Structure 1
Amino acid sequence: MGNAHFSRERIRTGVLLVFLWMLGLISLSCAASLSASRQKLQVQKHLNRLNKPAVKTIKSPDGDLIDCIHISHQPAFDHPFLKDHKIQMRPNYHPEGLFDEDKISDTEKPKQRSNPITQLWHMNGKCPQGTIPIRRTKEEDVLRASSVKRYGKKKLRAIPQPRSVDPDLINQSGHQHAIAYVEGDKYYGAKATINVWEPKIQQPNEFSLSQLWILGGSFGEDLNSIEAGWQVSPDLYGDNNTRLFTYWTSDAYQATGCYNLLCSGFIQINSEIAMGASISPVSAYRNSQYDISILVWKDPKEGHWWMQFGNDYVLGYWPSFLFSYLADSASMIEWGGEVVNSEPDGHHTSTQMGSGHFPEEGFGKSSYFRNIRVVDDSNNLKAPKELGTFTEQSNCYDVQTGSNGDWGHYFYYGGPGKNPNCP
């Protein structure tokens, strides 16, 4: 009798435990479901903020959707300070001496002439006047980010610090660079013609880019930066295409700023070029070479920072109120490449910088910046004085400067990352 009673108690206890276990699973499932639906709602709200109603939509051959948005409905005007902003449709001043450096001399070898470049979506249409092209953000784009809040933002500590590098900082941040730079003066802009490639990326959370940096303030939490160039970033765009991009921050990448038009800030006025859209074609090793020209300068009258792509496209401007130090001038300009190395324990990624080849290989094989200029306080484009160079690990990625009549100040840069001398 006692044993039977004991058995019934055990069965009852077992049934109770199973019931509680199932209840726990149901609770966990409900919590997960609630969390997933909350995240979905968050993502949807963010997409509604970013993707404004389109006048026209163009499907790019690479799968991108380019929305033609009325110029006054772009994301910039979500900013409270820009509610009553009157769009400036052209800069008051343009740096002098812009076009002289790009004239190809009669003595330049034909093989070293660059070829025209465009964006892939142009093959399928163009945006009407009065609109601007914006790459539509998809749900999967936002879900690849660490959080909805961090979508479209760089990770912290993404700026090379040539004069005061802390080795621990390099290892911790995982960012590596091969750059040329100037400092020690007041700068009001910068220009360069940048060779375009499609570097191979090892991990989806890594990227490779080539850009110019306009910097103000210290390398602490108050750093101001305006950046423009090309990048390959599977994490941001979901593919390995080479894309035109811009970036800005006024607090060292903490809370302010973003890539392209993924937050309010940059005001675009151009209907032909889409930030974040694929560039085509790109350079090939020992074959045709393609490059893009980028100019960023400060309008002396309004104080806004303007950006120009090539000789024909003034894209728009960053209003001066976005910045503290850059509201006056820049204290440093940098040009060059950057990659992220996510490999742990001292191992190195095989993510390429530039063409993936070292500078000494030269034209047609290595990546370059040519006709490097800075804008001075008289709004003149000038050759930089005392161009310095910097790289964290020259066995992985390197940089070599030079100067001649056709290319002015230039440098070759980049590398393969992991190799026998960069384990």
Structure 2
Amino acid sequence: MASSWCYKKMSPIVSVLLCFLLLASSNIRPVFSSETRSGHATNQTFRPQEELQKLKIIRERLDKINKPASPDGDIIDCVLSHLQPAFDHPQLKGQKPLEPPERPKGHDPSGMVTENFQSWGLSGESCPEGTVPIRRTTEQDMLRASSVQRFGRKLRRHVRRDTNSNGHEHAVGYVTGDQYYGAKASINVWAPRVSNQYEFSLSQMWVISGSFGDDLNTIEAGWQVSPELYGDNYPRFFTYWTTDAYQATGCYNLLCSGFVQTNSRIAIGAAISPTSSYSGGQFDISLLVWKDPKHGNWWLEFGNGVLVGYWPSFLFTHLRDHASMVQFGGEIVNSRPSGFHTSTQMGSGHFAGEGFGKASYFRNLQVVDWDNNLIPLSNLRVLADHPNCYDIQGVPSGVTVLKILIKNVESSTFVLVCNMK
């Protein structure tokens, strides 16, 4: 046998190596061969040009299936509408998105900004009818999260608008004391500086019902800069909801079964472009949230009459009927890096007194009444959790003004952190 011959004629190390090669060679077959059904090997001719052409066709096909990353690095997947995360919910399984509801009376979308406001769509990319664009969540996204179990959710916290907000600081204008069936605002978009991964800065609307305890129901929409959630510092269009004060229900965007998207061109969670610039062009997004009088679901509209989708009424307890408060304003997370107040900005990062083009703003504030009418705000109040850091003012035109100044304890100098007009 070959193996015994090796061991007798050669040194042990060389013989072992040679025998291994001899034994391995007995199992080697031609590279381009395949087994026939009778078990015999048949050689196949390798044709490089044909293989290259096949590879080219495959890549072209994949390019059509897998949308390329947008300029901000997002990958947007076109998902069949009835397979989006919302339809994982037991009460939605087997269903399809609902038809558009009746708009609130007095709503005139003409003259508003266009719907093409996201980086991924600026190159002409879109999803076909019957699908919805969903920002792909990656392993890196989840690894950045402070808690994998709570990925896509706001942290549990006290939600009273006072100094016990557990690191979340607000400056808001609000109305209360009536029954509200929706809200509308145009929100100025900026790219505020966020000082570390575990903080965020946002401007949004809140539609609220219930107490500021464990039964709080909210619907939220606006823009947000969140390095932890998105991995960058781009302002992103976002939605949120909760029915138990951010404890176990609700999430951002489409990261859980809840919000039903109906639009094939707007990707919730994708970056907004363009943004406002200091002493330059100003850009805002117009958002409308209202309760469908017929089915009771809460719908979201963006800009020029474009429906984004809806929150089914069964998700909520108190909001199944109406809201008891509407808020407009900003929120940041203050993690007190190095033991001092954060330098994370809200809005434009400049004082309200600097005026239009330099300060951030909310405009065209309205609410929806019991008869599905859009009406101006009355009795707008303002509140800041930390008035020594975040100050808010309301002006007669209905524009909400936020003015923020923070004292840097280390250098005893004043650092401008936020200003929203």
Q: TM-score, normalised by structure 2?
A: 0.79
The answer to whether 1:220 aligns with 2:220 is no
> How many angstroms does 1:83 deviate by?
0.9
> How many angstroms does 1:160 deviate by?
5.1
| Larger helix fraction of residues | 1
Q: Which runs of 5+ in 1 are unaligned?
A: 1-53, 105-113
The answer to whether 1:70 aligns with 2:80 is yes
The one-letter code sitting in structure 1 at the alignment partner of 2:200 is F
Give distance in 2, aligned partners of 1:374 and 1:192. Answer: 9
The one-letter code sitting in structure 1 at the alignment partner of 2:386 is Q
> How many angstroms does 1:413 deviate by?
1.8
Tell me what 1:242 maps to. Answer: 235
The one-letter code sitting in structure 1 at the alignment partner of 2:145 is A
2:274 to 262, 271, 281: 281
Tell me what 1:99 maps to. Answer: 108
The answer to whether 1:155 aligns with 2:165 is no
The one-letter code sitting in structure 2 at the alignment partner of 1:410 is V
User: 301-310 or 144-153: which moved more?
Assistant: 144-153
1:415 to 400, 404, 407: 404
Tell me what 1:133 maps to. Answer: 133
User: 302-311 or 342-351: which moved more?
Assistant: 342-351
Give distance in 1, aligned partners of 2:403 and 2:330. Answer: 7
Change (3 A) 1:320 1:182: same
Change (3 A) 1:346 1:360: farther
Tell me what 2:174 maps to. Answer: 181
Give distance in 2, aligned partners of 1:326 and 1:56. Answer: 38
Q: Secondary structure at the match of 2:396?
A: strand
Give distance in 1, aligned partners of 2:376 and 2:159. Answer: 23
Give distance in 2, aligned partners of 1:81 and 1:351. Answer: 40
Q: Secondary structure at the match of 2:395?
A: strand
1:142-188 alpha-carbon deviations (Å, 9 max, x no partner): 11112221000001237452xxx3x3x13xx1111111000111100
Tell me what 2:119 maps to. Answer: 120
Tell me what 1:383 maps to. Answer: 376
Give distance in 2, aligned partners of 1:329 and 1:228. Answer: 17
1:328-348 alpha-carbon deviations (Å, 9 max, x no partner): 000000000000000068721
Q: 1:56–1:69: 8 Å Cα contact kept in structure 2?
A: no
Q: 2:301–2:307: 8 Å Cα contact kept in structure 1?
A: yes
Give distance in 2, aligned partners of 1:360 and 1:273. Answer: 34
1:403 to 387, 393, 396: 396
The answer to whether 1:293 aligns with 2:290 is no
Give distance in 1, aligned partners of 2:316 and 2:141. Answer: 28
Change (3 A) 1:418 1:252: same
Q: Superposed, which structure 2 residues align to 1:353-392 within 5 Å? A: 353-392=346-385
Q: 2:132–2:261: 8 Å Cα contact kept in structure 1?
A: yes
Identity %: 57
Give distance in 2, aligned partners of 1:136 and 1:158. Answer: 31
Tell me what 1:35 maps to. Answer: none
Change (3 A) 1:259 1:418: farther
User: 356-365 or 344-353: which moved more?
Assistant: 344-353
Give distance in 1, aligned partners of 2:193 and 2:404. Answer: 11
Q: Superposed, which structure 2 residues align to 1:227-266 within 5 Å? A: 227-266=220-259
Q: Secondary structure at the match of 1:403?
A: coil
CA RMSD, Structure 1 to Structure 2 (Å): 2.1
> How many angstroms does 1:403 deviate by?
2.9
Give distance in 2, aligned partners of 1:61 and 1:379. Answer: 40
Q: 1:58–1:67: 8 Å Cα contact kept in structure 2?
A: no
Q: Secondary structure at the match of 2:361?
A: strand
The one-letter code sitting in structure 2 at the alignment partner of 1:69 is V
1:190-238 alpha-carbon deviations (Å, 9 max, x no partner): 0000000000011111000000000010011110000000000000000
The one-letter code sitting in structure 1 at the alignment partner of 2:85 is P
The one-letter code sitting in structure 2 at the alignment partner of 1:270 is N
1:70-129 alpha-carbon deviations (Å, 9 max, x no partner): 1111000111111133420311x21111117x759xxxxxxxxx8986100013311111
Q: 1:115–1:290: 8 Å Cα contact kept in structure 2?
A: no
The one-letter code sitting in structure 2 at the alignment partner of 1:224 is N
Q: Which runs of 5+ in 2 are unaligned?
A: 1-63, 417-421
Give distance in 1, aligned partners of 2:159 and 2:279. Answer: 31
The one-letter code sitting in structure 2 at the alignment partner of 1:217 is G
The one-letter code sitting in structure 2 at the alignment partner of 1:95 is P
> How many angstroms does 1:410 deviate by?
1.2
The one-letter code sitting in structure 1 at the alignment partner of 2:266 is I
Give distance in 1, aligned partners of 2:354 and 2:394. Answer: 13
1:279-310 alpha-carbon deviations (Å, 9 max, x no partner): 00100011110000000000011000000010
Change (3 A) 1:55 1:303: farther
Tell me what 1:42 maps to. Answer: none
Give distance in 2, aligned partners of 1:90 and 1:307. Answer: 11
> How many angstroms does 1:417 deviate by?
4.6
Change (3 A) 1:376 1:68: same
Change (3 A) 1:400 1:218: same
Higher-Rg structure is: 2
Q: Secondary structure at the match of 2:67?
A: strand
1:302-323 alpha-carbon deviations (Å, 9 max, x no partner): 0000000102310000000000
Change (3 A) 1:57 1:260: same
Q: Secondary structure at the match of 2:87?
A: helix
Q: 2:405–2:415: 8 Å Cα contact kept in structure 1?
A: no
Give distance in 1, aligned partners of 2:313 and 2:199. Answer: 31
> How many angstroms does 1:421 deviate by?
5.0
